[in-house]
Amino acid sequence: KQEVTQIPAALSVPEGENLVLNCSFTDSAIYNLQWFRQDPGKGLTSLLLIQSSQREQTSGRLNASLDKSSGRSTLYIAASQPGDSATYLCAVKLSSGGSNYKLTFGKGTLLTVNP
Amino acid sequence: GAGVSQSPSNKVTEKGKDVELRCDPISGHTALYWYRQSLGQGLEFLIYFQGNSAPDKSGLPSDRFSAERTGGSVSTLTIQRTQQEDSAVYLCASSLVRTIDEQYFGPGTRLTVT
């Protein structure tokens, strides 16, 4: 059974700081890995999707890396802003075994960026 | 274009009552998914539809939960005889055709059972 773990559970940083969020998964047979953002009371916004054949994806100040063999991904946020405050979720999709329709999520990292 | 929509956004119900949650997927998306996010828990998969069929219902927590989809579009998740442990945010997602296609999420329905 795929398990996804996110560390830390919560993180508070001053504005302008660079930061890294971590995600690990137990089954390396993944199709892709996705990072989401969730604001309080809102749904999920997809930030970055990394296919299993890729090592990283970048969007603006965000960079996500994937090391499938070690079961790890990181989300790097450069020059953090108060508007980045949210819960960040990591999710993986298995590539086989008849379960490639479901996303398995971590419990998220609650990020607070202080002005 | 329009994204995934869900209604109601918030629902408060008394223990033992039945509730229906609705999901309108993105037009043209044939795959539809339900997830649940409980306090202190991660998002957990409940069920997915390909067209009007649900190949996998194994994520539904109990037989009080059921879901249907009609016309390959709107889906309804029904919880009968609600319990306090059913309190959660219920999220719906849809994807274009294949189950490996990217899933797009709705804003969710926050269910509170008193």
Residues A61-105: tens digit of each pLDDT: 999 999 999 999 999 999 999 999 999 999 998 876 666 778 999
pLDDT at A101: 76
The letter for the amino acid at B64 is: R
CA A97, A101, B48, B60 torsion-angle sign: positive
Q: Which member of A31, A41, A105 has the closest CB to residue B100?
A: A31
> Does A41 sit within 8 Å of B100, measured CB to CB?
no
Nearest 5°: the CA angle A84, A114, A79 is: 50
> Does B91 sit within 8 Å of A43, measured CB to CB?
yes
Could you tell me if residue A83 is left (phi over 0), alpha (psi between -120 and 50 degrees) or otherwise beta? alpha
pLDDT at B45: 92
Q: Which member of A32, A43, A99 has the closest CB to residue B105?
A: A43
Is pLDDT at B41 greater than 90 in this prediction?
A: no
B31 — contact with chain A (CB < 8 Å)? yes
pLDDT at A23: 97
Tell me the CA distances in angstroms from B46 to A102, B24, B49, B57, B76, one per residue in order.
9, 17, 11, 7, 13
Residue A98 vs residue B64, higher pLDDT = B64
Contact B66, B74 (CB under 8 A): no
> Does B99 sit within 8 Å of A107, measured CB to CB?
no
The burial of B38, by beta-carbon neighbours within 10 Å (0-12 exposed, 13-18 middle, 19 or more buried), is given as: middle
Indicate the SS3 state at residue B9.
Answer: coil
CA B59 and chain centroid, separation:
11
